[in-house]
Amino acid sequence: MSTNVTVTGAAGQIGYALLFRIASGQLLGPDTKVRLKLLEIPQAVKAAEGTALELFDSAFELLEDIDIYDDPTKAFEGTNIALLVGARPRTKGMERADLLEANGGIFKPQGEAIAAGAANDIKVLVVGNPANTNALIAQSNADGVPAARFTAMTRLDHNRAIAQLAQKTGAAVSDITNMAIWGNHSPSMYPDLFNAKVKGERAWDAVGDENWVANEYIPRVGKRGAEIIEARGASSAASAASAAVDHVYDWVNGTAEGDWVSMAVPSDGSYDVPEGIITSFPVTTSGGEWKIVQGLDVPEFSRERINNTVNELQEERAAVAKLGLVS
């Protein structure tokens, strides 16, 4: 059995870290052979070819084939898993509306190409920023594909939130369960310590310091991307690739009993989050499908912050609706 995996932005930083993880079997597990389909813009096809040579040289047992395209229709034909990493970064002096429009020019045709030719079981993860709204654009332009197949990545925020909490409490990363990121993949995202657990105890109680949560923890997780850029001189790449692998692996293989993960998915109105946006929730997965966890505690502290990040997504939605990119 082999699975077609399309990666866009394959010649970029994240692509370079991601492709080797996929080819080694970490995305889908050790029993699934992979055929990679790489999509790049024409100017970067040569660099993608270079990465393909290195993949070939790694002699991965699970890697059946690699094809490289500059045409989305061909890159998504027959694909089962699509990782949309390539996006238009914000350049100096660029207004938000221009950024959204430039990304609309990428994600609208990609959504159309997915609708035209992807496999029936297509699963899409959008990594390229602004990830939630780019996913919404792709989903809105993919007629006939169930909306639930379009997700955006907040798993890096989720992993960062676990790592920071483990460091604060002295617990091991494996002692932390039930972490949830709510909202947008942006500094407004909300990591929820009311439902997260440290060795089974409510994380809010295990920390016991509201001031630290509000004024250190949440901003630290939210602005971690900027901290990495400051230190590395380039944005997070290997940790983003690692989070993308975690997201897809869990979507395909299921979450552990009693635990959940964070995924940005189309809202169904749960927790009074309006429909029409792709926003992060705690989800469980089984049989290749995700479900929003129901019945969690949302105290006032959380409510305010969830509303804030959700409002930001509604504003992004309104901006792309104005541009005719979503209906």
Nearer to ligand NAI, 185 or 197 (CB): 185
- Cβ burial of 67 (10 Å; 0-12, 13-18, 19+) is middle
What does the alpha-carbon distance between residue 188 and residue 166 come to, in Å, rounded to a whole number?
A: 21
What is the signed CA dihedral for 41, 47, 49, 50, rounded to 10 degrees?
-170
Q: Which residue type, as a one-letter code, is found at position 223? A: K
Instruction: Choose between 14 and 296: whose C-beta lies nearer to ligand NAI.
Output: 14
The verdict on whether residue 269 carries a ligand-binding annotation is no
CB closer to ligand NAI out of 149 and 185:
185
Question: Is residue 130 reached through a cis peptide bond, with omega within 30 degrees of 0 on the bond before it?
Answer: yes
State yes or no: 244 annotated in a binding site: no
* 224 among annotated binding-site residues: no
Who's near 54: CB < 8 A, 6+ residues apart? Answer: 20
Smallest gap from Cβ 224 to ligand NAI, in A, equals: 10
CA distance 276 to 140: 10
185 is catalytic: yes
12 is in an annotated binding site: yes
Query: Which of 82, 171 has the CB closer to ligand NAI?
Result: 82
Closest CB 152 distance from ligand NAI, rounded Å: 7
Query: Does 96 show up as a binding residue in the annotation?
Result: yes
Has 34 been labeled as part of a binding site?
Answer: no
d(Cα 229, Cα 60) in Å, to the nearest integer?
32
Which residue in the list 185, 197, 224, 317 is annotated as catalytic?
A: 185
Rg of the chain in Å (alpha carbons): 19
Binding site for ligand NAI (CB under 6 A): 8-9, 11-15, 39-41, 44, 85-87, 89, 106, 127-129, 131, 153, 156, 185, 235-237, 240
Q: Is 129 annotated as a binding residue?
A: yes
Q: Min. distance of Cβ 104 from ligand NAI in angstroms?
A: 11
Smallest gap from Cβ 31 to ligand NAI, in A, equals 28
Residue 235 or 308 having the CB closest to ligand NAI: 235
Amino acid at position 160, single letter: R
CB of 74 to ligand NAI, least distance (A): 12
| Catalytic residue set | 185
Which residues fall in the annotated binding site? 9-15, 90, 96, 103, 110, 127-129, 160
Which residues fall in the annotated binding site for NAD(+)? 9-15, 103, 110, 127-129
Which residues fall in the annotated binding site for substrate? 90, 96, 129, 160
